[in-house]
Amino acid sequence: MSFEPGNPETSDCDYYEANRRLWNSRTPLHIDSKFYDMAGFRAGKSSLCGIELVEMGPIAGKSLLHLQCHFGQDTISLARHGAQVTGVDFSETAIQAAKILAEELQTPAEFLCHNIYDMPDQLNGQFDIVFTSFGTIGWLHDIQQWARLIFRLLKPGGRFYMIEFHRFYHLFNETGLLIYPYFHSPIPDQEISDKTYADGLKHEPMAEYWWNHSMSDIIMALLQSELQIELFHEFPYSVYRLGDQMVEINSGKWVFPGIGDKIPYMFSIGASRPSTKRL
């Protein structure tokens, strides 16, 4: 795997198209991987890490929009807890797989194939909860537009919740060496990858592009969209082992061996759309 900046003359649409092809390619590998444990999931195991449900509070009976839902495991897990779910992703392969999985498991869930920046206007103000988690915002070039979208989709009084890998954790490679930038650039980072994080399964070499967003970028974007932040947590571990070098310090808590729990690996944010517009 090689790392370098993207081409400044390439359009965001071209970057998105490359990433869409990447995720279309990876989806069948993920469905068959041990990482996603489809046998356990079909038997009723939740794909959620558990922190989400504690921090979001009650979701039963709530309309919930899951942004960048991949092939729907977390969306269906949220439906199993009683939410009325809609999942959105830009990969048609992932969305088709999500629809098939929901039908197979007889779980009520709607799935839509959209680049989230092009969400239909009829969804405006329709959701009690907007949710996103783990490995999502780095694929988005404009975090301000993302925050405005969340505000637009929420009902007045609705809540937004995200749990995500911390940008600080993403500065390091698998050996704990600092190699990646922290701050945002309109030119995305590029890697030529021939494997996915799920069991290291191989695919043909493909370019992937992502954009860095600092914690201040994310928090200020949400505040400037007029969402009210009510929760912010940082976690000194990852709930996923996303590299062969990571070690488990407690059950389900993974860190780099040379760094341990001295850095944040994940963060969560809860926010709400005010019931009335600010004066």
**Statement: residue 169 has pLDDT above 50:** yes
| Orientation angle between helical segments 12-31 and 92-104, nearest 10 degrees | 30
Q: Which CATH class is domain 2-258?
A: alpha beta
How many percent of the chain have pLDDT more than 70?
94
Q: How far apart are the C-alpha atoms of 267 and 215, rounded to whole Å?
A: 9
Neighbours of 120 (CB within 10 A): 10
**Angle, CA 49 vertex, CA 108 and CA 52 arms, to 5°:** 70
Q: Confidence band (pLDDT; 50, 70, 90) for 2?
A: very low
- Which tens digits make up the pLDDT trace of 5-30? 555 556 778 999 999 999 999 999 99
Domain residue ranges in the chain: 2-258
Question: Both tokens of residue 36?
Answer: 């996603």
Tell me what pLDDT residue 10 has. Answer: 63
